[in-house]
Amino acid sequence: MIAQPLPRHRSRAGLHLNRHGALTGLGKQSLAASIQLTTLVLQHYDITVASYHDIPAKHITPPPPMPSSDTGSAGSTERLEANIPGAFPAGNISQTTISTHQTLSQSLYERRAEFTRLRDVRIKVGSWNVAAQKGTEQDVGAWFVGGKGVEASFAGLGVTDADLKAEEGRESIRAQEARRSSVAPTVPHHDKGALPAGDEVGIYALGLQEVVDISSATEALRPYTDPSVANKWKAAVEASLPKGYQLVAEQQLIGLLLIIYASPSVYPHLKAVSTTSVGTGLMGYMGNKGAVTARFVLGETTRLVFINSHLAAGADKASVERRNWDAAQITSRTRFSPITDSMGLNQGQGEGIGEEDFAFWFGDLNYRLEGMPGDDVRRLLTIHTKGLDPDTVDDSIHDDATTASTDVSTKLSDPNSSGAKEDAVPIPSELDPASLQATIHSLLPHDELIQQQKAGKAFQDGWKEGPIRFLPSYKYDVGKVAAFDSSEKRRCPSWCDRILYRTRAGKQQYDAKYRDEEAARKRDEEMKAKGLDHAGDDEDVLFNYDPETDGDNDAYDEYDENEDPEPETVVTKEGFTDEILLECYTTHMRVLSSDHKPMEAVFALKYDAVIADLKAAIHQEVARELDRQENEGRPNVALVVDRSTGTLSPENKHTTDSNFDGVDFGDVQFAKSKKRTVTIANTGRVTATFGFTDRPVEEDQAEGPFPSWLSISFDREPVRNSPVQDTLRSKTARPPV
């Protein structure tokens, strides 16, 4: 038998490396092998086919530093290969180093201290129930913007003795009441103002209630908001504001109106303005009661929220519970539009009340004096206000008693009076039993709002209020300075109008306390379920103390929140440090156009403001640095192919064609395997990943990473305990007969 020569055929396989480090032409993306220094062996053998489904994603780590020469290991091939840049890591490496570039916004945020500057701003918050009275808009500019209409002897926090002297030359109460008209301001003439005013204030936030008659069915059921009402009030405020102040936010809900203005220096720093309203009136949703709310970000760092509300009226217990319900509904249903934070990220959904840095809740909250007869309260307060309304005399008050009480107060508080000893020490007003402050101090424990806060039923989650050192804001005869309700109902004077505020720190402190209490309660329930709470019932008990009932037998809870506020430091949601201080908190007793007296609070806020020019410069620096890092961090993989592209001529057998990018197996004989090696090395500074993509096939060809006559394998196994653990697995098929 003459042996026939074996057939020959030339085979080539295309292998390419794209800019992303992906090998193309032989495989697909799922066939991803990440190695440090790996020799890829391509075999021409009919029966071995690589199973690409089992190859995991792997990474090529950057080259490690070259070690110093070691003569003792010079003869060790394995040690030598281990020191080659791009080689597999040592076995004690537990994870692959992966470079992750920070985003532009994150890098910019880390350098925020370089483009922010500390700023100061005064925020004036005003609240007034105008009771749908005509002409009330005539007074708003004078008291809210001008700081006028304060009776210093009956004012609260922020009004000093210097303000008492400033009242000299001001119009008398008798003359003021005599000229009262609905077509002219009712504030006293020649009033210089006792509170920060004009351009001393950077942000004015005014909340009005009952700008329309909410008891009218026509107004309550009106399907639209009449803009003329808000325009009237805005025109009155803008006429008194200094030049350059601009409207920031406006929201109206039937009788509720909220308008906010900012100075020319503050307005450019206000972003993400959002307003909304919540009705809690008839059927729980009508707008005769509820709240209008505004939110904006100051200086790109500080979230401010303003809530103007009008809660349910009434003096019975059910009304108190309804007011608590109204407040809870306002909190849960208020939702602002999404904002973009300082890192450039858009919120998925809008924030609600409780996610801000500073919040101000004001309005006619309608909380009364619980269990106090109206006649007794009026009698007690009229002792101090009789001098303000000489024409108003309560029949139940005897002139001699009033005079005696006034004389006692004067002698005890004035060391220069004839009845005082030369060495007498002045008695503080809150300790003088005949002073107005002592009277207020005795009434406040009966205030429903304070009671509900302490009971944890409303406004308990971090809300606080300045010291109340002023007369109740409700209810007075219209046109009078200090004449309490003389109508048939003779309502009990109460602090219905309030201005509360809350910081992010206060909310967080409450949340932490609540979580601790809940954890303790659950532990107690678990102990009771196990019967551990009765373990010592049969033992002698020396005493039995229950902190939950401690103090229940007291006649009343002493009101102890009369101290001046201290500056409070707050870390904002964006990570900046702000500081807030309540400077003033008082009523404007000399405003006569409504049965409610206007309320005012002034806050001093220190905050970090983003300077646009500095931020732009830092932004450019960060962008250039990240661009440099990205360029240096691009994968850099070297591909070396052992290839010979010759002809049948012996002289060209081992030549290389530089224009050919594939792998040339040359002449291949039947049933004879032939190998070519491809070396892939990571020569860059960061981890690189390469993968195999699908090869183009004809309709009659089988899909796959490589043809059936080609298999690939790595020249070594990954190191144990390294992230790259799985290796190629093969399938075996018989060659064709």
Confidence band for 87, pLDDT divided at 50, 70 and 90: very low
- In the block, tokens 């949340």 appear at 511
Contact 603, 123 (CB under 8 A): yes
pLDDT: which is higher, 19 or 321 = 321
| Percent of residues, the chain, with pLDDT higher than 70 | 68
Task: Find the mean pLDDT for residues 511-517.
Answer: 93
CA-CA distance, 226 to 732, in Å (whole number)?
84
Task: Find the mean pLDDT for residues 530-544.
Answer: 60
Flag the least confident range among 73-82, 442-451, 534-543.
73-82
Flag the least confident range among 66-70, 106-110, 128-132, 153-157.
66-70
Last residue of one domain, picked from the residues 610, 641, 661: 610
Q: Which of 291-305, 421-435, 520-534 has the highest mean pLDDT?
A: 291-305
Compute how many other C-beta atoms are within 10 angstroms of the C-beta atom of residue 310: 29
Indicate if 582 and 699 belong to the same structural domain: no
Indicate if 660 and 689 belong to the same structural domain: yes
Task: Give pLDDT tens digits for 616-658.
Answer: 899 889 888 888 877 777 777 777 777 655 445 566 656 666 6
Q: Per-residue pLDDT for 267 more than 60? A: yes
Indicate if 217 and 143 belong to the same structural domain: yes
Cα-Cα-Cα-Cα dihedral sign, residues 335, 338, 341, 347: positive
Backbone phi, psi, residue 481, to 5°: -75, -50
Task: Give pLDDT tens digits for 404-456.
Answer: 334 433 433 444 444 444 455 666 666 677 788 999 999 999 999 999 999 99
Indicate if 351 and 294 belong to the same structural domain: yes
Q: Domain for residue 435, yes or no?
A: no
Give ∠ CA 617-618-624 in degrees, rounded to 5.
95
pLDDT of residue 544: 58
- Give the domain extent around 22: 8-65+76-99+633-732
pLDDT of residue 396: 42
Q: Domain for residue 399, yes or no?
A: no
Last residue of one domain, picked from the residues 547, 579, 610: 610
| Amino acid making up residue 380 | L
Q: Domain for residue 403, yes or no?
A: no
Confidence band for 668, pLDDT divided at 50, 70 and 90: confident
Q: Per-residue pLDDT for 538 more than 70? A: no
Q: Domain for residue 199, yes or no?
A: yes
pLDDT of residue 476: 95
Q: Per-residue pLDDT for 305 more than 50? A: yes
Closest CA to 291 of 282, 279, 283: 279
Q: Per-residue pLDDT for 254 more than 50? A: yes
End-to-end CA distance of the chain: 20
Q: Per-residue pLDDT for 207 more than 70? A: yes
CA-CA distance, 601 to 84, in Å (whole number)?
73
**Beta bridge pairs of residue 50:** 730
CA-CA distance, 523 to 545, in Å (whole number)?
19
Indicate if 275 and 156 belong to the same structural domain: yes
Q: Please give the tally of structural domains in the chain.
A: 2
Contact 254, 212 (CB under 8 A): yes
Q: Domain for residue 553, yes or no?
A: no
Q: Per-residue pLDDT for 101 more than 60? A: no
Task: Give pLDDT tens digits for 542-567.
Answer: 555 566 665 554 444 444 566 889 99
Q: Per-residue pLDDT for 15 more than 60? A: no
Indicate if 605 and 684 belong to the same structural domain: no
DSSP per residue over 588-635, as a string? -TT--SSSS--EEEEEEEEEEEE-HHHHHHHHHHHHHHHHHHHHHTS-
Compute how many other C-beta atoms are within 10 angstroms of the C-beta atom of residue 733: 11
Q: Domain for residue 329, yes or no?
A: yes
Closest CA to 395 of 386, 404, 406, 407: 386
Flag the least confident range among 40-44, 112-116, 371-375, 474-478.
40-44
Cα-Cα-Cα-Cα dihedral sign, residues 532, 533, 537, 541: positive
CATH code for the domain of 322: 3.60.10.10
Contact 13, 42 (CB under 8 A): yes
662: which 2 tokens? 């594939």
DSSP per residue over 562-574, as a string? -SPP--EEEE-TT
pLDDT of residue 165: 63
Indicate if 581 and 667 belong to the same structural domain: no
Compute how many other C-beta atoms are within 10 angstroms of the C-beta atom of residue 350: 15
Compute how many other C-beta atoms are within 10 angstroms of the C-beta atom of residue 175: 10
Indicate if 92 and 135 belong to the same structural domain: no
560: which 2 tokens? 């102890």
pLDDT: which is higher, 384 or 321 = 321
Indicate if 120 and 94 belong to the same structural domain: no
| Percent of residues, the chain, with pLDDT higher than 90 | 44
Q: Per-residue pLDDT for 88 more than 50? A: no
Q: Domain for residue 344, yes or no?
A: yes
Q: Are strands 302-310 and 358-364 parallel, antiparallel or unpaired?
A: parallel
Q: Domain for residue 488, yes or no?
A: yes
Indicate if 576 and 645 belong to the same structural domain: no
Q: Which of 63-72, 92-101, 576-585 has the highest mean pLDDT?
A: 576-585
Indicate if 334 and 198 belong to the same structural domain: yes
pLDDT of residue 136: 96
Q: What is the pTM of this model?
A: 0.70
pLDDT of residue 423: 52
pLDDT of residue 543: 54
Indicate if 605 and 656 belong to the same structural domain: no
Q: Per-residue pLDDT for 47 more than 50? A: no
